[in-house]
Structure 1
Amino acid sequence: MPERQHVDQARAGLHVGLAMHSVLPRGGVIHTLELATALAQQGVAVTVFAPVEPGQILFRPLPDGLALRLQALPMPRPNGTLLADQVGERIAALRAALPAAAARAGVDVLHVQDSLNGAALAQRPPAMPWLRTVHHLDDFTDARLDAWQAMAWQRARAVCCVSDTWFDQLRARPEAPPVHRVFNGVDLQRFRPRPVAEDAAALSALTAAGLDDAPMLLALGGVEARKNSARLLRAFARLRREVPQAARARLLVAGGASLLQHGAEQQRWQAALADCGLDEGAGRPVWRTGPLPDAAIAALMRRARLLAMPSLYEGFGLVALEALACGTPVLVSRRAPFTEHLTGSPGVSWCEPEDEASVALGLARAWTQPRLPQPPAVCHTHSWARSARAHLQVYRQCLASTLSSLASQDPAPCLP
């Protein structure tokens, strides 16, 4: 049986496969790369699998000197015009590529971070046990998207969650496989309060395009409904009107590389711009930069007056911890998962995310907060080393469960 071979190999030296849905700077991709690095630093061999479209490269090079490598899965660009058609094309391509690539690499356990890879493995199970991290689940109106999302975690041998909220929600579902609580982490070498010499170079392209010394509110992830983007924009306009010291403030929205379509929120965003009389573009009061080089994100966090994250829901909200590690005050929603780990932390202001006035008041409060001289305790508690140890425990349990399951299927030995 193929799974027994991988379990036996894992006893000598674990080889973990981590699969992510892109090579672009999205939260799940960053989580995968940070986890992969932390596992490799603890002596685990790691192969990262990622779909790569023509012309794409991994946004961040992997560190040298570790048993860590990237296995690119060449992918055509989706041709469909509807989101579900594009997702279906990508799942089909991953179904053809990922199980075979994992088998060739000889990984002992395969851990996927997203619904695309999860749905591919649900339809074509690999030779080794596989598990899934669920950062959060979306509400889809398209039945195909909903079905793919469901099978992408329900058919895994085990599921990991990075927050108590989603751990409790999934564990309560009768169709759930074993659910484990793991952790996110903060890279305190990359995210630290004092500016570093490389910051000016990292921001040089933005500076040439119009980034100046005007006070800046930073939001990451692009314009999406779950990010509460349009309501944040309206609250920002109120901040500029009602707080004299913020009259010159600029809202910079970085990131936004996503396969999902966010047309409805984009329309709400445009309506808010018109209603509030705000200009958008490089050097204007509102600036959407799109995806940025990795080094620019930490530099922007150190440069920003505050980071705004009044999300309607998140898997964890790691960006808020990274901003705090840079000494930057943050505004977050007074709801889980933020309340799980940020309650009582210095530098944190709160809002009711569906109340525009509350978001505006939260921005004003965060605006008055001093910068933190050092990362708060919550950033030290959430380390990637701790995350790697938690994941290793899950992998070992998953492999032991697989071995036990295979042993129970073996026929009784024949007696002479």
Structure 2
Amino acid sequence: MERRKVIQVEEKVPFKMLVPLSIQHMFAMFGASVLVPFIFQINPAIVLLMNGVGTLLFILITKGKAPAYLGSSFAFLAPAGIVISKFGYPYALGGFVAVGVCGCILAFIIYKFGTEWIDVVLPPAAMGPVVALIGLELSATAASNAGLLEETVEPKNVIVFIVTLGTAVLGSVLFKKFLSVIPILIAILVGYAAALLCGIVDFAEVAAAPWFALPNFVMPKFNISAILIILPVLLVTASEHVGHQIVTSKIVGRELLKDPGLHRSLFADYFSTALSGMIGSVPTTTYGENIGVMAVTKVYSVYVIGGAAVLSIAASLFGKLSMLISTIPGPVIGGISFLLYGMIGASGIRILVDSRVDYGSSRNLTLTSVIFVTGLSGIALKMGNIELTGMVLACVVGMLLSLLFYVFDKLHLTNDQEEEGEA
């Protein structure tokens, strides 16, 4: 059976392919990325600008070896909302800058001490379910975007959702040649056409938007209380970043934690967050939607990611263009997300398969079981104004358990060592 050609990280792509592939990545991130500035009640143009700039900086700092698109981070919503209500948006920006600077310091610490600790605190039996949870816990978000969790589900939303998801699913297995690498873009366009026919697209804001406009720049203000409210998010975003880099490594078939190195990718991520806060934008993070696009299309080229970043910058300057893209309705975004988030979940299972995790071992069975239940149960751990839940809480629990098992091993207390000795 002929396999679809893989376009690797460093490969250049012909211009006639580069444009649609880049548009595909921009569409994949757009819906989620502009939602954050809408929640903060700021103009999304500044966010689109820094998403593009941050992504280009990420590619530069990681030497073009780690394909990733930086979009708006949802991890800051709760604490930043508190700061905005108490102090104002400029003070939230100060918190974003503080998190970015501390993250850069964390990257330097990892540079000095290496990443071997990851194998100790997150062995495959723990890392697999943690990575799977990145996609699985977002499944409800995909359904919510599609309008499928409302008390009364609109038939129009269901039709658009099914058309979009059906095109993406069938396209990923039936399309051939160039069409086989842009099934997400085609699904978005087909879904958008279905939305137009169903009458759920509103062009009023597009008509009112200016053709050209510079983003609104806002300088940060610093207050120690505001910073302390936002700073604990560092734990959340660091865990998320490690998980994204591991799942991307599995998809592209390279050890990105070693080359270009976790310290480089982490520094790039947090440098972008600090820079965003300095000019009035929201924090950035590597985006699961774009990881999902790479998994579906097998196109990993940083040139494609860079092209999407340039398009995002262009969209930030052309008001009507950014507003036109923002008219993509929820059922279309939800339909695409159903497939993309599922791909991330499957990547976590792939870690377990590729690592040949032995579930005859009590520790492996225990690790995977506890992590999955912790991540999917909905329980939360609150520490002041920060809340750990889902994948992040599961990651922390998995790390603590793995570290505990490592100590038990050193003390020769574990029963699987005893069984190996008897064998």
TM-score bracket for the superposition, by shorter chain length: under 0.3
More helix by share: 2
More strand by share: 1
Structure with larger RCO (C-alpha < 8 A, sep 6+): 2
What's the TM-score, normalizing by structure 1? 0.24
